[in-house]
Each structure stands twice: as C-alpha cells, then as structure tokens.
Amino acid sequence: EGIREKLSMFCQVSPKQVFSVHDCESLYHVPILLREQGIIDVLTDRLKLNELTIPAEIRSEGTTLWSQWREFARRRARDLDQTTIAVVGKYTYLTDSYISVVKALEHAALNVNRKIKINWVEASDLEESSMHKDPLKYHEAWQHMCGADGILVPGGFGERGVEGKVLAAKWAREHKVPYLGICLGMQVAVIEFARNVCGMSGVHSTEFREDCETPAVIFMPEIDRSTMGGTMRLGSRPTKFQDSEFARNSMTRKLYGGVDEVHERHRHRYEVNPEIVKELESKGLHFIGRDAETGERMEIFELENHPYYVAAQYHPEYLTRPLSPSPVFLGLILAASGQLQAYLGGEDVSKDVDTKLKM
C-alpha cells in the first residue's frame, strides 16, 4: 500500500487507480489479478458504464465468459494429464520463432483438459548426414520424435532440414502417429507421399530443386519470379470444402463445425502442384479443402485410414484464441490424447470439470 500511495502521489492519480501486476502463475492469471484489485470498478466509474443500458443477455454472456476465463487459467495452473507433441522445425534453437504455434498448442490442450509438453526436434538432426556428423544429436532427435504422442511440422523457408521434415512426415504416416503439417509442413508431407506411396521418381519442390523430375510443389503460376517484393500470397482467404463423400465426412470438416467454407490466413509463395493431385488422391491422400476463388489451390489434405494425418497450406495458428482454439490444432491434441473419436461422436471430453469452455 505504501508503494501504491507513493506512485499515486508522484503520478498524480488516485491510489485506487494504481494497480500491481506482479509475477503470476501464467499470463492468463493477469486479468484475474487486476479484477481482484478493483480495475472493473475504476473503469466502470471513469467510463460511466453504469449509465448505459446493457441488455440482460449481454450481461449474462459477460458473466459466462468470465467464468470460462477463470476455468481456463485454473487449468493452466493444474497438474493435468500430459500430451507430448514433437515440433520438427529448423529454428528450434530459438523457440520464440514458433510462439504462435506454441500458443495454439497450449490453447487447444487446455480446452480439452490436457497439459502440453513440446519436444523440440531440429529437422536437420533427423537426416542421415547427421548420424555420421553427430550421432548423439541424431539419436536424441529420433528419440524425441518417436516418443511423442503427435508430430507437428510448422512452416519455414530454405532448404536446410527439409529432408528431416520429410522423414518426420513419413514416420507419422507409417506408424499412425497423429500429424499436423502447416504450410511447408503440408508440402513435405505431399513430397513424402508422392515418393513413397505413389512411387514417383525425382520428387521435390521447385523451391529447393528447380529442375527436379517431378515437381510436387511449385511456384504460384501468377507470380513473376523475377520481381522481388510483394510476391507472397498473404492475408485471410476462403477455403472451400469439396463436395465429395470423403470431404463431407472428414474429421477436419467436422472439427470446423461442418461448415462449407472457412477463412484462414496465408503466407506462402509455393503450393502443391495440381497436376499430381489426381494420383495422390487415388492412393488415399484427399485434398478436402481448396481455394474458393479458383478451386485449383490445395488448401487442406486428410489421409484416409489414419488416426489424424492432416495438413493445411494456410497458417491456422494465427487465429487461435484461448477460449477458441484452432480446429486443426484441437484435432491434433485430441488425436494425440486418444480423445478425437469420442469428441467427434459428441462426447464431452471435459466432463470432469464444472465449468465448460466455449470450444
């Protein structure tokens, strides 16, 4: 209180308008801390909120939202059952590079009453060359990936570690491990499938092998490669679920609530080559979501006869929220924790808690 009064005097504000935001168990506890110190009363008074006529429906919605937020923060502090996800990337020595992915995983996990543990795997350490150069790193990387409940390959640029990501996608596919690929993570999974399931020769991405025999991933056709700057496909774009039996009954579409179209944010220059899609789909890799503008861009795939092998060209982690996790991240956590089929069947996967989240 003494410090509060001192700050009040030097800053020329009332003591009740000085708030302490000390270290909390998590970031999600900060709003709770501020409310306990009376910030709602101060804001109500300063903004004259009591003079407004707020419908009972909106007041009730606010009360419910606050209860859900408190429950979310409580789960963050609890000792929940743990789900381990291996994130296979090329910037894993600076994990803040993947902060959006980390938060998307955390939001999804807490919404289904799980605690997330991330095994960071440097993609290049999975490659055969690493076994000869640094056997310890090689075996540790494989141990961390093989010991995870699910695998996530996020986006990235540059050739380093690409073959390691291909190996991660192959391991997940062959061993029925839940997999989520994002942007480049989708592209490497397509490369792996084309090589090892379809038997195509010389498969690669033109981003890394411009003259490869079978380009599975190509530069966007409408972009001039000689022009630098402003050449990425950016922003929120619509993805339309296909009108096929598999797409209509896909896990991904159900996770999105059965809608016909979703809007997600993009950030890429390369995309799956539409010329090989028919053969990929004939082997079980279904492109259930395509761009709504042309229908030629592959946006979402889902592999048949697999617990959860899903990838997206867009970046779903950009739209995650604590009480509204990204559907594909939610699917990964549910599959990795053995709850996906129960969830899709309408079962309440958080039935052991009193307060339900918005999910």
Distance CA 36, CA 18 (A): 13
Sheet holding 150-153, edge to edge: 115-122, 82-89, 150-153, 179-182, 309-312, 298-303, 285-291, 233-241, 261-268
CA 174 to chain centre: 22
Question: Is residue 317 among the annotated active site residues?
Answer: yes
Grouping H, G, I as helix, E, B as strand and the rest as coil, residue 68 is helix
Give the SS3 label for residue 264.
strand
Q: What Å distances lie between residue 163 and 119, 128, 193, 315, CA to CA?
A: 19, 9, 13, 21
Whether 175 is catalytic is no
| Alpha-carbon span 322 to 74, nearest angstrom | 13
How far is residue 265's CA from residue 289's CA, in Å, rounded to a whole number?
14
Half-sphere exposure of 222 (CA within 13 A, CB side): 6
Active-site residue identified among 183, 192, 268, 306 = 183
Query: Is position 198 annotated as part of the catalytic site?
Result: no
| Closest to 88 (Cα-Cα) out of 56, 119, 43 | 119
Q: How far is Cα of residue 223 from the mean position of the Cα atoms in its chain?
A: 27
Name the residues annotated as catalytic: 183, 315, 317
